C-alpha cells in the first residue's frame, strides 16, 4: 500500500471538481448559537438510540472553528466544499423568523469558502428536522412539502447569490425508510404507513422546493440519493434482493427520472401511500440540473421467512470491510454511475459521498491510513472507468472532511481525512488528506 493515489488531476476531464463533504449536525455543535432543537437532538437524548448516548451538542465545534476547517479544505487543494444548513439552527421554530446568529454564521461560512476559492455546494436537508415540525408529524405529514419549500426559499433569499449549487435533500431513503421503517435514525419509528408516506413526501417536498427555487432564479439544483450494490446472498434470494433494489436503488431515482414507482416496491407500499400520490408524480419528475450519488458498499440480501413484507434481511458478505462492517466493492460505483447515466440521459452526475471509516490513531503526530487511500484510489478508478464509458460525471466529494458525529453510531466511526481528537477536538490531517494534496495541488482555478 502506498501513501499516494495512482491518479493525477489531469486524468480527469477539464473542470472536474474535487471536494470534501460534511453536514451541519455532524460537525457544528447544536448547543451553540441559538439553534432550535431538531429531532436528532431529542433522538440522541432518548436511551438506547445512539451508541453511548452520544449527542451532537458539541460535535466538532465547527461553529467556532469553521475558519480553521475551511483553511484545511483549501490547503488540501479541493475545488468545492459540500456542507449543509441545520434547518433548526436557521429556523428554530421550523418556520417564521430566522435566527440572526445563524444567518451571520452561514454568511461567514459561505463568504469564507469564496475567499478561499472554493465553490459552495449546499445541501438544504441533511436530517436536522426542527422538533416543532416533528411534533406535527414531520415527514409523514403532507404539509412538510410547504414547510420545506418555505425553508428552501429562506435559504435562497439569504445566501443564494453566493452558492455554486443547491441540493434539496440528502438521501431520502435514510430520511424515510431508515428513520420510519427500520427505526435506526430519528425519529426512530418502525411503522410501515409512516414510512410509505415519508417515501412519498420526501419527493413532493423536493419537487415543490425545486420549482420554487427555480422560480426565484436559483441555478444548479439537484438532489443527493444513496445507492448500494445489492446482490442476493444465495441462490433463492433473488426476490428479496429485487425488493431491496426497488426500495433502495430504484424508488427515488425512477420517480425522478420516469415519474413512476417500481412495482416490486409498490407491492408492499401502495396501500399505505397517501391519497393522490399518483397525481404528484408529474411534479416529482421535473428536470434536475444534476444528480448526486452517494456510494459506499455492496450489500447482500436474503429472504427472511415468516417476516412480513419486504421479508428480507442483510447477510454478512465475504469481501473486505470497513469498520462500519460495509463490504468494499469499487466496481459497484462504476456500475451504478453507468446505470444512472442511462436512466437520466445527459444529466450531470456528481459523486457527492464516498469514503470509509477506519480505526485511525495518531502516532508521532501522524495518522497512517493506507486502507483509506487504497479505498479512494479504487473508487476514483471506478469514476474514471465510468467517464471513459461516456458517463457525464462532473465531480467527486470525499465523505468526510473530518471525523464527526456518525449519527446513531456516535463518534467511534472515523470517516475523516482529518483526525479529530475526541477530547481536545484538535485536528490532525491523515495520510489520506496528504494524498489528496499531492494529487490536487497546485490548484489551478477552474476553467469554467
Instruction: Pick between residue 35 and residue 281 the one whose CB is nearest to ligand FCB.
Output: 35
Q: Which of residues 296-355 bind ligand FCB (CB under 6 A)?
A: 353
Of 54, 208, 245, 353, the active-site residue reads 353
- In angstroms, the CA 228 to CA 333 distance is 8
Q: Which of 41, 128, 171, 280 binds ligand FCB (CB under 6 A)?
A: 171
Q: How far is the CB of 248 from ligand FCB (least distance, A)?
A: 12
Site string for ligand FCB, 24-63 (x = CB under 6 A): --x-------------------------------------
Instruction: Pick between residue 86 and residue 226 the one whose CB is nearest to ligand FCB.
Output: 226
φ, ψ dihedrals at 214, nearest 5° = -65, -40
**Residue 28 among the catalytic residues:** no
Rounded to the nearest 5 percent, the helix, strand and coil shares of the chain are 45, 20, 40
Grid cell locating 268 = 408492499
Count of residues near ligand FCB by CB under 6 A: 12
Q: How far is the CB of 80 from ligand FCB (least distance, A)?
A: 17
Element (H, E) at 433: helix 431-440
DSSP string, 343-358: HSTT--EEEEE----B
Q: Which of 86, 141, 156, 226 binds ligand FCB (CB under 6 A)?
A: 226
Strand 418-420 and strand 80-84: the pairing is: unpaired
Q: Which of 27, 174, 189, 374 binds ligand FCB (CB under 6 A)?
A: 174
Instruction: Pick between residue 16 and residue 326 the one whose CB is nearest to ligand FCB.
Output: 326
> Burial, 426: exposed, middle or buried (Cβ in 10 Å; 0-12, 13-18, 19+)?
exposed
Q: How far is the CB of 188 from ligand FCB (least distance, A)?
A: 16
Residues 6+ apart with CB under 8 A from 266: none
Using DSSP, state whether 58 is helix, strand or coil: coil
**Residue 353 among the catalytic residues:** yes
Site string for ligand FCB, 403-422 (x = CB under 6 A): ---xx-------x-------
First-to-final CA distance of the chain:
35
Grid cell locating 259 = 415519474
Residues forming the site for ligand FCB (CB under 6 A) = 23, 26, 170-171, 174, 226, 294, 353, 399, 406-407, 415
Residues acting as catalytic residues: 171, 353
Amino acid at each position: 500500500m502506498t501513501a499516494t493515489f495512482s491518479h493525477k488531476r489531469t486524468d480527469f476531464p477539464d473542470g472536474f471538481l474535487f471536494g470534501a463533504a460534511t453536514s451541519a449536525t455532524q460537525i457544528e455543535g447544536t448547543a451553540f448559537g441559538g439553534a432550535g432543537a431538531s429531532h436528532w437532538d431529542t433522538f440522541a437524548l432518548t436511551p438506547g438510540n445512539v451508541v453511548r448516548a452520544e449527542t451532537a451538542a458539541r460535535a466538532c465545534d465547527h461553529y467556532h472553528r469553521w475558519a480553521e476547517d475551511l483553511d484545511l479544505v483549501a490547503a488540501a487543494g479541493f475545488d468545492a466544499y459540500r456542507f449543509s444548513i441545520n434547518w433548526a439552527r436557521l429556523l428554530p421554530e421550523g418556520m417564521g423568523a430566522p435566527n440572526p446568529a445563524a444567518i451571520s454564521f452561514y454568511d461567514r461560512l459561505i463568504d469564507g469558502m469564496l475567499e478561499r476559492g472554493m465553490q459552495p455546494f449546499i445541501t438544504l436537508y441533511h436530517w436536522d428536522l426542527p422538533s416543532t415540525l416533528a411534533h406535527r408529524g414531520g415527514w409523514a405529514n403532507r404539509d412538510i412539502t410547504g414547510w420545506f419549500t418555505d425553508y428552501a426559499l429562506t435559504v435562497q433569499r439569504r445566501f443564494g447569490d453566493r452558492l455554486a449549487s443547491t441540493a434539496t435533500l440528502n438521501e431520502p431513503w435514510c430520511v424515510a425508510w431508515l428513520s420510519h421503517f427500520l427505526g435506526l435514525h430519528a425519529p426512530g419509528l418502525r411503522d410501515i404507513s409512516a414510512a410509505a408516506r415519508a417515501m412519498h413526501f420526501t419527493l413532493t417536498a423536493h419537487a415543490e422546493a425545486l420549482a420554487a427555487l427555480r422560480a426565484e432564479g436559483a441555478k444548479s439544483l439537484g438532489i443527493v440519493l444513496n445507492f448500494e450494490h445489492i446482490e442476493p446472498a444465495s441462490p433463492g434470494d433473488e426476490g428479496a434482493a429485487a425488493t431491496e433494489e426497488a426500495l433502495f436503488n430504484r424508488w427515488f431515482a425512477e420517480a425522478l427520472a420516469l415519474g413512476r414507482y417500481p412495482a416490486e416496491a409498490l407491492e408492499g407500499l401502495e396501500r399505505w401511500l397517501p391519497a393522490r400520490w399518483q397525481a404528484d408524480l408529474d411534479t416529482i419528475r421535473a428536470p434536475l440540473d444534476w444528480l448526486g450519488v452517494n456510494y459506499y458498499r455492496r450489500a447482500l440480501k436474503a429472504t427472511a421467512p415468516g417476516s412480513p413484507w419486504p421479508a428480507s434481511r442483510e447477510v454478512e458478505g465475504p469481501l473486505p470491510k470497513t469498520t462500519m462492517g460495509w463490504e468494499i466493492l469499487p466496481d459497484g460505483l462504476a456500475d451504478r454511475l453507468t446505470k444512472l447515466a442511462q436512466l437520466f440521459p445527459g444529466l450531470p452526475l456528481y459523486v457527492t459521498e464516498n469514503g470509509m471509516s477506519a480505526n485511525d490513531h495518531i502516532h508521532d503526530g501522524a495518522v497512517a491510513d493506507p486502507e483509506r487511500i487504497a479505498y479512494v484510489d479504487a473508487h476514483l478508478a471506478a469514476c474514471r472507468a465510468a467517464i471513459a464509458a461516456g458517463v457525464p460525471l462532473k465531480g467527486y466529494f470525499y465523505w468526510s472532511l473530518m471525523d464527526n458525529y456518525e449519527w446513531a453510531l456516535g463518534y467511534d466511526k472515523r470517516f475523516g481525512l482529518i483526525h479529530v481528537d475526541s477530547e481536545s477536538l484538535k485536528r490532525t490531517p491523515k495520510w489520506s488528506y496528504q494524498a489528496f494534496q499531492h494529487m490536487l495541488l497546485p490548484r489551478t482555478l477552474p476553467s469554467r
